[in-house]
Amino acid sequence: MSYLCEKHRQELQNNPEKAQQLYQHWFDTAQTAASQQEMSTAIKACGWAFDAAQTLVNSVPDATQTLEAIDRLIQCGGYLATLYQHLGQHLNACTLLNAITEYLLACEAVQGRHSETKHLIQAKLRDVQLNANAIGLVH
């Protein structure tokens, strides 16, 4: 699932600092909108934050920053899946959680030579499964 257009995605890939700032802004906007029952705005902003988080996973230079970026991706993706679930959009929620799982498995394969990072990514995969279970999705 992709929420940003290719042009904006590329802009964030070229500027990880901006991606991090926008991630936080968009995630905060999503939470505020959801608390005010503005679900369309919440989903859009959270989707943009999700894309920014995914961009950060791809662009950070070391394992520690990669894990921090993965935490953002899981946090935001889990929240977005919860928003979808709240609106009865179960298919979108499942698709999103499956995409996160596939993405983390790809990260795990790339990080395979770093056993500590691989172990932490496996723990993050378990977090995604727990999130799916918590919001009532079979994942």
The model carries a pTM of 0.81
Lowest mean pLDDT among 31-40, 97-106, 127-136: 127-136
User: Which residues make Cβ contacts (< 8 Å) with residue 128, sequence separation at least 6?
Assistant: 74, 77, 78, 97, 100, 101, 104, 139
Domain ranges of the chain: 6-134
CB count in 10 Å sphere of residue 113: 7
Comparison of pLDDT for 34 and 86, the residue scoring more: 34
Give the pLDDT confidence score for residue 139 in this predicted structure: 44
The domain made up of 6-134 is a member of CATH 2.60.120: no
Lowest mean pLDDT among 2-6, 42-46, 95-99: 95-99
Question: Average model confidence (pLDDT) for the chain?
Answer: 83
Q: How confident is the model at residue 115 (pLDDT cuts 50, 70, 90)?
A: low
| Tokens, residue 39 | 């679900």
